[in-house]
Every structure is written in structure tokens, then in C-alpha cells.
Chain A
């Protein structure tokens, strides 16, 4: 059982480049989330989805976009990378009445 899988694990981008962080889950969870983790700040919610075709902004959505075309996949898109987006990104998923399961994270550096 793979759980929540994030790819890539590491990436270095140049300022202004774009990329997509992939997240897939095999637990048939309806809820999915993207968080970013910065030192001493805990995790902040970027976007979330309560089901295929439905997404909504979290606390820090600026500079990011998401889509949810299937139950399994919830990609996070950075269109114009900025140094402030250097962070560790975590994807999570859950049923409505169960705690969230987290992936192992994507470590992103923007130089």
C-alpha cells in the first residue's frame, strides 16, 4: 500500500521557471491538501480539495495553482518561481471522518 506519493523528492529551479509537483494517493480519499513547511513556521495550507473537480484556497495560495481531475491525483503548479517559494511541500489526503495521511515531501529550492 503506497499511501500518498509525491514526486519529485528534490528539485532546484531558477527564478521565473515553472514546474508541477505531483501528488497521488491510492486510498480512495476524497479530501486532499497541499501544505508548505518553512523553518519555525509549522505547516501552512496552500490549497485543498474535497473531491474531484472541487478545489479551494487555503492560507497561502498566492503563486500556486491546483487541479483535481481525478480522485487520486492533486498536482500543484508553480507558474513563475520566486525565491520566497523555496520550501518543503507536503501533500496529504483523508476521508472526511479520518485524520490526514502525509507524503514524504518535495524539497524545492529556487535560486
Chain B
């Protein structure tokens, strides 16, 4: 079975500062890893995904994430955040034989960007 832990429930940060949202996972099989963003009163939107290959993955809106197999981590980063990045962010995994399979989500991290 897979599980996902997001290490921070809330991350406050000032505009134009860098940010890292931390995600650890556990699994006995290979996984696909995802970060989704949820703006207020909206559904989830895919930010980026890791399937295989390069461990540094670039997504939309200037976000990137690094897959670290030895640390079982998939942390999300952005070098300079904007007010519009204020949202909830979810890390998720699916067991490794297809991308469209059942997702296991972390608890979410609320990113609050302040002017």
C-alpha cells in the first residue's frame, strides 16, 4: 500500500520569496508522483508529474519538483512566489503501472503569500 505525508499544513511566505512544500511517500512498488493545486472554491489542477527519467520535473506557473528515491521525497519548489500562488497544494501518488490509476493524496499544504 502507498501513503503520502505532507510535512507542513500551512506555509506563510512573503511575495517574491522562495518556497518549498515538502512531500514524503512510502510504497513497496514503483509509483507515479503528482502535485495538484486547488484555488479557493475550485477543483484540483495538475501542476506537474514525475513518471520516470530526470528527477527534476518542471510544471506550470514556474513550479518544479525533485524526485529523491533514497529519501522517498518529492518536494515542490518555486524560486519567487506571487500573491496569485495562494492556494492549497496536494501531493499524490499512484501505484506504478498507469498514470490514470487510483490516487493517494497527502493532507494538503496551504500556501499563503503575503505582500
Contact = CB atoms under 8 A, between A and B. Distances in A.
Interface of A: 4, 29, 31, 33, 35, 40-45, 48, 58, 90, 92, 94-100, 102-105
B46 A99 contact: yes
A9 to B, nearest CB: 9
Q: Which secondary structure dominates where chain B touches chain A?
A: loop
Contact of A90 (B44, B101, B107, B108): B44
A92 B103 CA distance: 11
A73 to B, nearest CB: 18
Contacts of A99: 34, 46, 49, 99-100
B43 A104 contact: yes
A44 B108 CA distance: 12
A43 B94 CA distance: 13
Contacts of A33: 102-103
